Amino acid sequence: MKDNNFIYLDNAATTKVSETVVALFAESEKNSFANASSIHRLGVLNAKEVDKAKESILNSFKLKNHRVILTSGASEANNLAIKGYCLNYSNRGKHIITTNIEHPSVLECFYQLRDKFGFDVEILDVNSKGIIEPSILEKAMRKDTILVSVMAINNEIGSVNPIKEIAEIVHKYPKANLHVDTTQAIGKINLDYSSIDMFVVSAHKIHGVKGSGALIAKSNLSFMPLISGGGQEDGLRSGTTSIAMAKCLSLAIKDALKEDVNKVKELRNHLVDELERIDEIEMNSSNECSPYIVNFSLKSKKASVVVEDLSNKGIFVSSVSACNSKKESYSYVVKALGKNEKLYKNTIRVSFSKDNTIEEVDTFVNNLKQTLEAIR
């Protein structure tokens, strides 16, 4: 995606909003401005538009027994799913399970439930490829386990977890439900969403509008609200509903699920072939990872210096997750793979969208080589 002479390769942090979504947002904000909670005719009509958007979202995921709870994004949706669910069903048990490479919006929920509410938190280690092995999860499950939270695709290295097998294990236990952070997975891998009890969507990861997302959960599940007030979203998430955001989220999901990943696979394979020829680089993303994310470490150079130099040349990549970059100077995900300190403190992530090109990959690699040679 080359605009104004820059190359954007940080799509796991955010994507460029699509022109069709922009047009729909402008049209909706102009014409569907009335409050969907109002009882007058315009309010009722707009409430129906929101319901249509939610129905469209469920149809896109081929779901019949789930409901859509609109949120400000995946972080809020993860918080509602994990804290809202656990606090609502704490009488069933307090044993909850996650992994050591989850997004901060998941891990911080588990820490809070442990430290403030007395939940028994078990954090499982992933293997050297960043995947939770089903046998490890099966050993950790207990009769009082009420929640398992495992991300579909890791946001830093792109590792893909076996969600089907995980769901089968979790559902052997009547009190347990499965939450999946699908933020990086929508339209990128095939998932049977009907087997997942709760999953989340972030619009800005799929060429939608920032500040928009959803928790999609089985209809029989309930949650303790984290935001109280006017009772919107079935009383689970109060606040005035944006009709435009709901419609644009629906469109972004529909478009994402139709995306052809083969082009991105070509970009990924070409990039990896080039990177593996550079002695300074050690790969962190395996061949089984999502083609949308390629993560590698520098053996002796400082990644922050390289990322800054590339940025000055108009090439944008990241060193750690955007949600973690101002808190930590290292990748806890790459550390979890068993890599040494030098490697997990000097990671670079390249993340693609459908708009990137082979020419951009070549330009990135050539400039990366020049930067590495210039740094002493």
Query: Strand order in 2-3's β-sheet?
Result: 2-3, 6-8, 315-316
Q: Structure tokens of 356?
A: 């990137």
How many helices and strands in the chain, by DSSP H and E? Answer: 13, 13
Phi, psi for residue 290 in degrees, rounded to 5: -60, 135
CA 317 – CA 154 distance, rounded (Å) = 17
Supply the angle between the helices 262-275 and 358-374 in degrees, to the nearest 10.
20
Q: Please answer whether residues 293 and 261 qualify as being in contact, where contact means their C-beta atoms are separated by less than 8 angstroms.
A: no
Say which residue the tokens 């050993």 belong to. Answer: 139
CA dist 302 and 27 (Å) reads 46
DSSP class of 184 = T
Given the residues 86, 109, 289, 323, select the one marked as catalytic.
323
Tell me if residue 43 falls in helix, strand or coil.
helix
323 catalytic residue (yes or no)? yes
Q: Identity (one letter) of the amino acid at 42? A: L
Residue among 297, 284, 288, 290 nearest 267 (CA) = 290
* Tokens encoding 165: 């097998």
Q: What are phi and psi of 223, to 5 degrees?
A: -140, 145
Closest CA to 270 of 352, 343, 367: 352
Active site residues: 323
